[in-house]
Each structure stands twice: as structure tokens, then as C-alpha cells.
A and B are shown apart, each in its own frame.
Chain A
């Protein structure tokens, strides 16, 4: 069925209206919201078919699927918003298998009273991110919850992609002797978010690094299919991601603090707040673990890509089933880099 033009004589009042329970009731109001907001901006042939699912052909081979729920405060932050984040986040999760992402789905949980103008801004941002990445949102869902039962908007996106032949990237593939690379400066996203939280406003030039990394990954696997691990260090930061990989692969790691790229403004903000950039979230960075003989090639590929200019080799994998991640500090000592425990909380004095 194709959507009829002018099915709703009075257009959705986006400027000054808010989400109400009828927008999730399955009736006319919901149909209008979908047509005049979601389909309008996220437009593609699949959405236009207005089915409850999207049917598409896939080439043969290994397929990956990943899903990610996005909840963030504030919804709009320097360098992005929940819309672009929900596209980038899932594309990156798919891409960390080495796959080319093909399609996304999006589920929206909206809270009664959420401004339609904000929703429009978020959907426009999603559409721009999806279009720029070349990964369309081809099916979706909308639910409305009563006021007080949500935090404005939650977006869950699911992505599918195809893994190229001869690529077997997995968190359990790290081996002693492997090199550890990171694609750029760490902590930018977390600091950007914190800088505009209600109780913690401070001025910083730092923007979220939110970005879709699949073209960077494509460049990397095209030349070096034999990458062992890829992962995007989101919540919990670089430290937690490396601990996950060390545990999955039953290996130890040694990092060189002086080699880990951190923007000066991030270091300053973290110093002020008593936080460690190693544990601050990223949304446009990846960690790559590869054979030592591939490290220079991959470093060059990463640095040649716009999203990998600050890429660096930051450490190496060693043999220890206990799975400890250690770091040689700038100061000349050695210390452990542990999992993030609980939330990172500011220190008192």
C-alpha cells in the first residue's frame, strides 16, 4: 500500500504541540505522526511501503545483527544528539565485526508531553546521520508512555550488516604479542555530555566525537582482513573495553600512558572533576588489536581516514590468563588499569 497524499487535512502542529497518548494509540494521530514526521525525514522505499516490517535481499555469507538502546541526558549536546547517536551507535556495533552495515530499524518510546519540535529535530538529525552513513532506517515502531514514566525519548536501533569473506573479528581473538591501537583521542564524548549537564555547566570547546566508523573499518579490513579484535570504547571508556577484551581472550595487556591520545581540554576537565579519561565514554573511536606486523599498516590506514587522524599504537598484548591490564605511567611507574567499578564519581577534595 502506498501512503495517500493529504490524508490528514490539518497538518501536525509541530511548532507548539506535544506528544500525547493518542500518538501511540495505533489510530489516526499515530498514523499522522508517522507520515508527517518519521517517514517524511527518514524517507526511503521501504518506509514508504508502510508495512510493519521491511523485506530486503541479502548477499550470501556471514550476517551480523546488533541492537542498542539509547538513553541520554541531555538529549542535545555539543557535537550531536540522541538521534545521530542512535544511528552511529548501532552502525558502530555492527561495524566492529568488520561488517558493512546495510540497514537499521528504530523503536521510539516517547513520553507524554514531549515537544514535537524536539522530536522533529531528533528525527531530522537521525535522517542526516543515516543518509551520510548510507545506512537507511527501513522499519520502525512508536510507543507513547504516560508522563513521568519515561525520560522524554528513548530510541532503540537495530542494525544488520554483511561480513566480508575471510574476516573473523571477535573479542576472544587477541593473542600475546599483538599490538593495540586506538583510532583517536579518548574521552571527548563523555566530557562534552558532562559539560552541559544541568548541575555541572562548564565551558569547554570539546564536542562529542559521535560518528559512524564503518568506512574506517572498511578501509582497515580491505587491506588487513586478519584483524583480531575491534571494539568501540563507549560506556566505561577505553579502560573497560580493554579489560573486556583481555578477559574474553584470556590475555594480559600493557599500555603506554604517554602514547594514549587525549585532548588537552579533556585532560583539564577530567582533572577538575576528579575523573580519569580512560573511563570516560567515546562514541566515535575504536580499539583495534592486530598482529604486530600489521600494526604500522593499520596505523597508516587509520591516520589517512578523517576519523582516525589521531590514531596511535598504545600498547601490546601479553601472555597471562589472569587478564590484567597494566599501564606504564608517564611518570615511569607501573599500575593496573582496572574495570570501571560502579559509576565514575567525582572525588571530594
Chain B
């Protein structure tokens, strides 16, 4: 099939595999973080790790919007349906994310809460129009990819003067998260371990909106190679090769592998739309990264009536992760799923304890679902990851 099959061709994969083997310097160890859950998914689903040399390690980054949402925000969402009795519209993955006390949207739905799974924010708007006597809240999450549709739906609701619709905005931004991972410059927690990363496979869909430009400062400031990488398996392999070449040559630039969708400037119409409706939050909590300044968006005062946080006077909830859950460390690449005592014992996709096991894009779910068959993979330890102090 056009645009799919040609990015999954086995002959090209074999060729790339051979070129990567020739290009890597045998004494060197390459630590490549794939930022996005989409990349993690592709690496496991297509068995890419088996096609690259052992001294190239993929470190699974925090780019899964479900995984990085802190427990407190899920608790907030549960309050909306259980206390304020709203119709809560959300993307599918969020339904199973554990909140405090192992509650989840899926569970409260079973007890009668009105939680609806939608594919597009426009569906939430439709539900609001149909249920004029009820409050309808769209639980908006995601990186820059899913932000423009949220902005659009708020503008549309405003144009229609819909008075029963609001948005619980949890949109987060990619570049500040990357800064936080490598620099931890914004974090005063001196005990927080970081991981050595030589290069980043940068977000693909996110970059189609924001372009490659926003990563340029990052690459220069932290001396890291960045390649904006598509989500198809050949994209991932090609990008890994480009990173390896940069690292060999001591370059730290932003290169674009995903040229079929991403430009330097990105989608300026979408950026303008977002800027019109949403603005930076001073700080936002990320699961695994803690409070990260300027890393999320909120609804502008001009659209305050559509801001669920204001409308329902939602409190900031500080909730802790489940005891023993290593999601925070896994999301920073410091630990691997197999280092977590809960992995595969009490934490499975059927009974997730942490967010990394919920979403198919989460590192734990990918390990469990695709990697469990090799006992070797199970026994694998976090080789190549050196810990240092921030």
C-alpha cells in the first residue's frame, strides 16, 4: 500500500542494517533516545533492535502523552465525572490510566459515570450540542500534534456560544521536556539521576506542527545530535544511521529525516491558531520529570469560559505514584521496564499500576507485549546506561 509498504520493506531494512553495522565504531557505545512513544512502538513491533548492532542502545523517552500525565490530573478528571456529573469526552488510551487508589475512568464508567471515548475533539462538540442540559468537558491531552484541534474546538464553541462545553487542558510541549531530560537544569533535585544520551530521534508528528527550528537551540546548548524521525520502521532505522554519523563526526545539529511531512518552519497556520487560544503555563507537572517550567499550555483569559479548570474551580491535586512503580525513572530513561519490581508481576496491561503499562506507546507495554517471548530479553539488564548526578 502506498505510503505504508514502502516504509516497511524488508530488503531496504536489510540494506540499512548492513550500512549501520559498517558505520558504527566498534569501541563506541551509542545511546539514542527515541523521544516518542510512536518510535518505541515501531522499534518493538518491527523488531528493529535485532537489526542494529549491540553497541547501539535505544533509550525510550517520555514522548507518550498518556504516560507523562501526573496522577493528580487524572484524579481531577475523575472529580469532574463523579462530583460535577459532567459528560467527560476523552481519547481511548486515557480510559485505563490508574488514578489514586487504582481508580480509573474505565472503572467509574462501569459504576455509571458518563465517560465517552472520542476520536476527535469535534465529537465532543457534537455531544455538547446534543446534550444542552448537561455539562460536557473535553479531557484534552497530547503534545503539539493534538493541540491545534483543541484550539480549533474552543474557537468553534466560542463562535457558537455553546454554554455547556469546556476543555480540561493538559497539552504539553516537547522541547522543554527534552531540555529537562538532558540538562535537568531546571530541576533543583540534586539526587535526580540522569542518563547519558548521545542523540535524539526527535518527534515526527509534533514537528509537522512546530517544525524543526525549535530544536536548534537545544542541539547547540546541550551538544546533542537531533534527527527528526518518522514513525515507520525504515524512518527509525534511517534516523538512527543519521544520528550515528553525526556522533561519529562530532556534529550536533538538527537534521530532518521526516522531510515528507516536516519543514523547518512547521505548520504556521496551526501555530497561529494555537497562539490565539492557548498560552504558556508558568510550570506543569510531568510524571517522571516533576515540575517543568514553560512546558505546558493553558486556555487564554479571552476564552476563560471554556476552561474547565476555572469553570469547575478545579483544585491542584498532588498525588503520588503507586509504591514501587518505576514509571518516573523509566520515563527519564534511567531505568528499563525490567528493572521495575512490579513489571510483569502485579503490573500487566490487564492490570496496569503505572502509565507506562497502559498506553501501547508506553515502554513497559511495548516490552511486555512484543518483547516477552525471548527469555534473553527478559534477562536483559540496562547495559550501556551510565548514571551520573545532575
CB-based A-B contact count at 8 angstroms: 105
A interface footprint on B143-178 (CB within 8 Å = 1, 0 otherwise): 101100000000000000000000000000000000
A341 interfacial contact with B, CB 8 Å: yes
B91 interfacial contact with A, CB 8 Å: yes
B interface footprint on A250-280 (CB within 8 Å = 1, 0 otherwise): 0000000000000010011001011000000
| A347 and B47 contact, CB distance less than 8 A | no
Q: In the complex, which of the residues B1, B45, B116, B142 contacts A348, with contact meaning CB atoms closer than 8 Å?
A: B142
Q: In the complex, which of the residues A200, A335, A342 contacts B46, with contact meaning CB atoms closer than 8 Å?
A: A335
Q: Which residue of B lies closest to A349 (CB)?
A: B145
| A347 and B123 contact, CB distance less than 8 A | no
Instruction: Given the known inter-chain contacts A330-B10, A338-B372, please indicate yes or no for A199 contacting B119, CB distance below 8 A.
Output: yes
- How far, in whole Å, are A341 and B360 apart by their CA atoms in the complex? 10
- How far, in whole Å, are A324 and B368 apart by their CA atoms in the complex? 12
| B46 and A333 contact, CB distance less than 8 A | yes
- How far, in whole Å, are A346 and B93 apart by their CA atoms in the complex? 7
Q: Which residue of A lies closest to B360 (CB)?
A: A347
B118 interfacial contact with A, CB 8 Å: yes
| A346 and B92 contact, CB distance less than 8 A | yes
| B93 and A348 contact, CB distance less than 8 A | yes
Question: Which residues from B are CB-within-8-Å of A334?
Answer: 47, 50, 373
| B38 and A336 contact, CB distance less than 8 A | no
B338 interfacial contact with A, CB 8 Å: no
| A335 and B93 contact, CB distance less than 8 A | no
- How far, in whole Å, are A271 and B45 apart by their CA atoms in the complex? 14
Interface set, chain B 7-50, CB cutoff 8 A to A: 8-10, 13-14, 17, 36, 38, 41, 44-50
Interface footprint category on B: 35 or more
A248 interfacial contact with B, CB 8 Å: no
A326 interfacial contact with B, CB 8 Å: yes
| B370 and A342 contact, CB distance less than 8 A | no
Nearest-neighbour CB distance to chain B for A287, whole angstroms, equals 20
B233 interfacial contact with A, CB 8 Å: yes
| B4 and A271 contact, CB distance less than 8 A | yes
Q: Which residue of A lies closest to B46 (CB)?
A: A331
- How far, in whole Å, are A331 and B236 apart by their CA atoms in the complex? 12
A interface, by DSSP: helix, strand, loop or mixed? loop
| B361 and A347 contact, CB distance less than 8 A | yes
Nearest-neighbour CB distance to chain A for B148, whole angstroms, equals 12
Instruction: Given the known inter-chain contacts A324-B372, A331-B8, please indicate yes or no for A346 contacting B91, CB distance below 8 A.
Output: yes
- How far, in whole Å, are A209 and B339 apart by their CA atoms in the complex? 44
Interface footprint category on A: 20 to 34
- How far, in whole Å, are A332 and B13 apart by their CA atoms in the complex? 8
- How far, in whole Å, are A346 and B1 apart by their CA atoms in the complex? 21
Question: Which residues from B are CB-within-8-Å of A268?
Answer: 1, 4
B329 interfacial contact with A, CB 8 Å: no
B interface footprint on A174-191 (CB within 8 Å = 1, 0 otherwise): 000000000000000000
| B10 and A331 contact, CB distance less than 8 A | yes
Q: Which residue of B lies closest to A332 (CB)?
A: B10
B295 interfacial contact with A, CB 8 Å: no
Nearest-neighbour CB distance to chain B for A201, whole angstroms, equals 10
- How far, in whole Å, are A335 and B118 apart by their CA atoms in the complex? 30
B96 interfacial contact with A, CB 8 Å: yes
- How far, in whole Å, are A341 and B1 apart by their CA atoms in the complex? 28
B340 interfacial contact with A, CB 8 Å: no
B108 interfacial contact with A, CB 8 Å: no
Question: Which residues from A are CB-within-8-Å of B319?
Answer: none
Instruction: Given the known inter-chain contacts A324-B372, A326-B373, please indicate yes or no for A349 contacting B143, CB distance below 8 A.
Output: yes
Question: Which residues from B are CB-within-8-Å of A324?
Answer: 372-373
B contact residues vs A (CB 8 Å cutoff): 1, 4, 8-10, 13-14, 17, 36, 38, 41, 44-51, 65-66, 91-93, 95-96, 116-119, 123, 141-143, 145-146, 205-206, 233, 348-350, 359-361, 368-373
A contact residues vs B (CB 8 Å cutoff): 199-200, 264, 267-268, 271, 273-274, 324, 326, 329-336, 338, 341-342, 345-349
